Structure 1
Amino acid sequence: MTDPRTTVRRTDWPQGGSTPLVTPLQPSVVYRSRDPDELDAQYSEGSAFTYAREGHPNAEVLARKIDALEGARDGFVTGSGMSAVGAMFLGLLSAGDHVVGADQLYGRSLRMMRQDLPRLGIETTLADATDVESVRRALRPETRLILVEVVSNPTIRVADMERIAALAKEAGVLLAVDNTFTTPRLFQPLAQGADIVIHSVTKLLAGHSDATLGYVGAKDPKLAAKMMEANVTFGLTASPFDCWLAERGMQSFDLRLDKAEANARALGDALAEMEGMRRVLYPGRPDHPDHNRAQALLNGRGGNMLSFEIEGGRAAANALARAAEGIAFAPTLGDVGTTLSHPNSSSHRLVPEEDRKAVGISEGFFRVSVGVEPADLLIEEFGAAVAAARAVRD
């Protein structure tokens, strides 16, 4: 009989001859060792889990799954997409280094480039990633790293990845690619000359708007180790529960992306025919400014992300968002359902207005993360929303 005084003690996990089909959720923060010698050996050899900030089973399972998709070595999961970017910078850069970033990155990445890295003594320059000569002109002797998105967020421009990879190799500079929009289903940066790949797992990989996570992977395990050390030191730790949710979401990743991509093609074509539409940006459309490059890089695919610009200002934008019944207006992407975002009031609200205008982000500019609903339903809903915006403008 159990001594009632010991109920506060932990009970040993039951062992059996079978294993669970579903990955177990392991929320434990600490892991027991038998004695100091064993703990020393575990830290030295990296042979066991010790403390969750330094790694835990659910993060390990998820990281290995993304590693397999990206062809990475020793990738790791972080607490968010931006913490993945932060772990890379903190792990690899020092004061006096220089970074070149694409000028159409995600808003918070731009803020990090413009404000936070310079505050730490790391100089930065922004360049047009669709033009390799712009990137070349931005390089300096102290340049350590180039950061680009294959398809830019939210302007849907396509980077000149082949030439930028060749330039980075020629210059002896690391190339890091944020692959969130394209995912390894459309593009694998490490196989195309990049050194580091980054994901906001929160988005398309997890796919259900219920987990906030990032991922960093590399070709070179030494690079991965440096970034992982920064991740541990700065406490950019991923939640076991979020990792468990994301790993579950990834079981349907291929199916979700393929359906959403087919919807995006149909929606993009329909939007382009609507009155009051200034432009539609979708890599699979022949009128996209980088269409030929996109077709070559993405093997004829276009992904599920598109942007469009309507005529009119904030009043028209408000009318469109309110009239888009059934479509979530939210500053995010990658959900099972379609979401509509307005960069001027969300992701790029802190970017100077002149810089937003320079890349075409106006009050009438919207980003759409297309989901898996019936395409005809989406076209109907967006048709009503665009008509509502047109009525305000008229």
Structure 2
Amino acid sequence: MSDETRPRVKPTLMRPGGMIPEASAPVVTPLMPSVVYASETPDALDDQYEGRARGYTYAREGHPNAEVLARRIDALEGIEGGLVTASGMAAVTAALMGICRAGDHVVGGDQLYGRSLRLMREDLPRLGIETTLADQTDAEAIAAALRPETRMVLIEVVSNPTLRIADMAGIAALCAERGVLLVIDNTFTTPAAVKAVEHGADIVIHSVTKLLAGHSDVTLGWVAAKDPELKTAITNFAVTTGLTPSPFDCWLAERGLLTFGLRFERAQANARALADHLARQTGLKQVLYPTRDDHPDRARAQAVLRGQGGHMVTFELEGGRAAANAFAKGASDLAFAPTLGDVGTTLSHPASSSHRALTPEARAAIGISEGTFRVSVGLEETEALLAAIDKGLAAARDAG
């Protein structure tokens, strides 16, 4: 075929030159789904990898939407260099497995999120990383669990789902004294209530899926370390194992994050009203909310949360599983779903969802019964929320 008869390829189909130079910039972060990024020369690529120039190479190693989101969460937590991951558990895994090695020991709070508990109980030990669970409300219990080979302590400021408050001052002092890393999963509390680094955290974790993004339409995590070497270790593990976040999820999460402060305040106000309302009802064994005078860790909650109670309420029905089934059916205006942090209120039954892997005895030991419900309070009109809850309570009482 001669040059004259060869089909001509239009230059517009060539990959380079996809971005159009502009004199203005978008107010909203663009969605950038590109998997690969072109560099001018091998020397230019070296400059990027060796830190002399900024740029992206391959999305598994980072992309613009993830970086924009990470910087926004960094600002909320008061720490630099956070990494967005594909899920909250990806962030937990990157922190634990990026830093620990066979022969190390990890102490975890005994009321961690259910999958974190499974990671501690089953997955880390089979890889040669020993683990111990201890009561995070008691620094002496954590101290008793430490060993010479302990590498880190992993806790949540407020436990899931019993809303117990960790002995933050005692645990932070203990970790500093022993040279043990303190890792805080701040998902439940959020930086609106607690800045984890102010309480001694060396590493901070979030499930961005929850209240930070806030709309139940993304699955993401975030992890940050104060020490640059730890950050590098976590990042290398995440990149190597492909814990890569979706650009679209990052874009949606950034959009949600812009209203985080407003959503937190509204949800917290509803949660306080709900807790007080529940405490006046019959058919309940207990109601847990950090700012109430009857909370078992009331004094510590005041010191750690500084007047914030958060958006979570936990209560226990009389009547066990039968009452639980009736309540979930009766409160049909609210979603019965194993999540938290949505704009709408969601009901979770830990015994059948987040903590179902535990035996009934193990659940009872940490205060979870068949009648326990965790409420992630949303943004509804308060009276409508209370009315929906009352329907469920009436159904539960009828079932008894």
Pairwise TM-score range, normalised by the shorter structure: over 0.9
Query: Residue in 2 aligned with 1:19?
Result: 25
1:37 counterpart = 2:43: yes
Q: Could you list the per-position Cα deviations for residues 180-219 of structure 1 after superposition, in whole angstroms to 9, with x for gaps in the alignment?
A: 0111110011122110110000001000000100000122
Letter in structure 2 aligned against 1:9: M
Post-superposition offset of 1:3: 4.7
Aligned-partner Cα distance in 1 for 2:88–2:386: 31
1:292 counterpart = 2:299: yes
- Counterpart secondary structure, 1:147: strand
Match 1:173 to one of 165, 173, 180: 180
1:235 counterpart = 2:242: yes
Post-superposition offset of 1:9: 2.4
- Counterpart secondary structure, 2:286: strand
Match 1:190 to one of 197, 202, 206: 197
Post-superposition offset of 1:47: 2.2
Amino-acid identity (%): 64
Aligned-partner Cα distance in 1 for 2:73–2:143: 31
Query: Residue in 1 aligned with 2:396?
Result: 389
Query: Residue in 1 aligned with 2:73?
Result: 66
Letter in structure 2 aligned against 1:25: L
- Counterpart secondary structure, 1:90: helix
Post-superposition offset of 1:220: 1.6
Q: Could you list the per-position Cα deviations for residues 341-366 of structure 1 after superposition, in whole angstroms to 9, with x for gaps in the alignment?
A: 00111111112221111111111101
1:329 counterpart = 2:333: no
Query: Residue in 1 aligned with 2:282?
Result: 275
Aligned-partner Cα distance in 2 for 1:378–1:210: 22
Q: Could you list the per-position Cα deviations for residues 208-245 of structure 1 after superposition, in whole angstroms to 9, with x for gaps in the alignment?
A: 00010000012222211111111101110111000000
Post-superposition offset of 1:6: 5.0
Post-superposition offset of 1:272: 1.1
Aligned-partner Cα distance in 2 for 1:247–1:83: 19
1:301 counterpart = 2:274: no
- In the comparison of the two structures, how many residue pairs are matched? 392
Q: Which moved more, 1:323-332 or 1:96-105?
A: 323-332
Post-superposition offset of 1:73: 2.0
Letter in structure 2 aligned against 1:119: R
Post-superposition offset of 1:8: 4.1
Match 1:55 to one of 52, 62, 65: 62
TM-score (norm: length of structure 2): 0.96
Aligned-partner Cα distance in 2 for 1:153–1:177: 13
Q: Could you list the per-position Cα deviations for residues 97-147 of structure 1 after superposition, in whole angstroms to 9, with x for gaps in the alignment?
A: 000000001100000000000011000000000011100000000000000
Post-superposition offset of 1:292: 1.0
Alignment root-mean-square deviation, CA: 1.2
1:113 counterpart = 2:120: yes
- Counterpart secondary structure, 2:309: coil
Where do 1:293-372 residues align within 5 Å? 293-372=300-379
Post-superposition offset of 1:35: 2.1
Query: Residue in 2 aligned with 1:214?
Result: 221
TM-score (norm: length of structure 1): 0.97
Query: Residue in 2 aligned with 1:129?
Result: 136
Q: Could you list the per-position Cα deviations for residues 240-264 of structure 1 after superposition, in whole angstroms to 9, with x for gaps in the alignment?
A: 0000000000110000000100000
Query: Residue in 1 aligned with 2:86?
Result: 79
Gaps of 5+ in 2: 1-6
Question: Larger Cα Rg: Structure 1 or Structure 2?
Answer: 2
Aligned-partner Cα distance in 2 for 1:224–1:351: 33
Q: Could you list the per-position Cα deviations for residues 45-71 of structure 1 after superposition, in whole angstroms to 9, with x for gaps in the alignment?
A: 262100000000000000011111111
Q: Which moved more, 1:68-77 or 1:174-183?
A: 68-77
- Counterpart secondary structure, 2:49: helix
Letter in structure 2 aligned against 1:118: P
Query: Residue in 2 aligned with 1:9?
Result: 14
Aligned-partner Cα distance in 2 for 1:237–1:81: 12
- Counterpart secondary structure, 2:390: helix
- Counterpart secondary structure, 1:271: helix
Aligned-partner Cα distance in 2 for 1:5–1:372: 52
- Counterpart secondary structure, 2:82: strand
Aligned-partner Cα distance in 2 for 1:369–1:164: 27
Letter in structure 1 aligned against 2:146: L
Post-superposition offset of 1:4: 4.2
Aligned-partner Cα distance in 2 for 1:7–1:132: 64
Determine if contact 1:73/1:221 at 8 Å carries over to the other structure. Answer: no
